[in-house]
Amino acid sequence: MFNAKELSNVLEYHPSEMPITTFYLNLDEESIKQRQHKIVLKDLFRYKTEKSYYKNLSDEAQSSIQDDFTKIEDFVTMQMNQIDGKKSLAVFSCSSNNLWETLDLSVPLETSMVINPHPYLRPLVEASSAHRKYAIILVDRAKARILEVDMGQTTEHLHIHEEDMPDQVKEGDFEGTSERRIERHINDHVRQHLKKVAEKALQLQQSQRFKWIYLGGRQEIISEFEKLLHSYVTENVEGTIIVEPHAPLEEVIKKAEKAEAASREKYETNLLSQLSDEIGKSARGIAGIPGVLNAQRRGQVDTLLVQQEFSTKGFYCPECNYMTIKREEERCPLDDARLLRTPDIIDNLINEVIKQGASVEMIQKSMDDFDEIGALLRFPIGK
């Protein structure tokens, strides 16, 4: 999941007559060189202002959106000179309500603009499902690195290069001691080195809670190192990456990405299997949009599972966020407010379940057996 703390103001925003402008920009290098982002931004804004949704807004709301566009244009122009390796920008703005939040992202997102009563979070959710936070622990007899990869950004938490490790001890340096004793002395140093790395791995897993952990290096040292890891770490170890100690970071990351893809497929398979089991046994699972919407209204959703690219039309209440796909409902059954039409009720649903503290998983594997959407519940249906 993306960092909800960074978007706390956005998540807490309550729909009002003043909509939010959400803008995602893909920082394609060639487009940046040609300054095409300005043209794209203007075209998107012109397209949005031609829509009936914008034309039906009050003069005050339209003025707020015009101010949003000006601020976004200025911000994007400024960022073009200091993107610092970032691949996308996300902006959430409602000028009349003094809402302004931005994110720099290290993963590419499709350029888009949405003007809605609620923030458009789906691209962020899709990105966080595709790019989970994981760790790579590289170990050798005298070296170690622990890397965190989160939404395409790599952070180094540990870098050890034991210059004084006695790998090259000569027999004469120990005044005639036997080779066996020298070897034992070296192995003791290696073990202490690996234990230090294992302790750091535990500390990081406790604080960072990596979804997956990959161990990298030569197979023989990985096997020795894994025996020293705490169970809280090993239960998240997804596999190994066989690389030479001197391998460049780019090679390590490329191998980790392949391992991550396999981990995601396995994770999604397990999630869908769990959903099937919960629907059939404990009634702590639900499938299909009507059932999921009902579960959301009752605050039952713990994990929302959505087939990637699945969308469906619906209606929502601008006052209490009640949602339905029933065409015959014109008024909200909770507060009698007039229901508004939306081209994709899934966007509203994602926004609401995140506010309720649930997690959202965008699934690449087929969800045809679940009508493309389902939810794991906090408590059984009917309770």
Q: Are 72 and 41 in contact (CB under 8 A)?
A: yes
Q: What are the distances in angstroms from CA 111 to CA 14, 31, 108, 239, 364?
A: 25, 12, 9, 35, 21
Q: What pTM does this model have? A: 0.85
Whole-number pLDDT of residue 93: 95
Whole-number pLDDT of residue 169: 47
Dihedral sign from CA coordinates of 31, 35, 39, 44: positive
Whole-number pLDDT of residue 177: 54
Whole-number pLDDT of residue 202: 97
Neighbour-count burial for 50-69, b at 16+ CB within 10 Å, e otherwise: eeebbeebeeebeebbeebb
Q: Are 316 and 322 in contact (CB under 8 A)?
A: yes
Q: Would you tell me the crossing angle of helices 59-79 and 36-49 to the nearest 10 degrees?
A: 170
Distance CA 252, CA 279 (A): 40
Assigned token pair, 73 = 């244009």
Whole-number pLDDT of residue 30: 59
Q: Would you tell me the crossing angle of helices 122-130 and 345-355 to the nearest 10 degrees?
A: 70
Residues 195-204: tens digit of each pLDDT: 999 999 999 9
Backbone phi, then psi, for 287, in 5-degree steps? -130, 155
Domains of the chain and any CATH numbers: 1-120 (3.30.960), 134-264 (3.30.420.60), 282-383 (3.30.1330.30)
Cβ burial of 297 (10 Å; 0-12, 13-18, 19+) is middle
Dihedral sign from CA coordinates of 56, 296, 5, 137: negative
Q: To the nearest 10°, report the CA torsion of 375, 308, 91, 134.
A: 80
Nearest Cα to Cα of residue 138 among 244, 264, 8, 51? 244
**Which distant-in-sequence residues (6+ apart) come within 8 Å of 370 by Cβ?**
272, 275, 287, 288, 305
Residues 150-201: tens digit of each pLDDT: 988 899 999 998 665 554 444 454 455 566 665 665 678 888 999 999 999 9
Q: What is the pLDDT along the chain (383 residues), one digit of tens a residue?
A: 555 666 777 877 765 678 999 999 988 765 555 567 778 888 999 999 998 889 989 999 999 999 999 999 999 888 776 666 788 899 999 999 999 999 888 899 999 999 988 899 999 999 999 999 999 999 998 899 999 999 888 999 999 986 655 544 444 544 555 666 656 656 788 889 999 999 999 999 999 999 999 999 999 999 999 999 999 999 999 999 999 877 899 999 999 999 999 999 999 999 999 999 999 877 899 999 999 999 999 999 999 999 999 999 999 998 888 999 988 888 999 999 999 889 899 999 999 999 899 999 999 999 999 999 999 999 987 65
Distance CA 1, CA 357 (A): 11
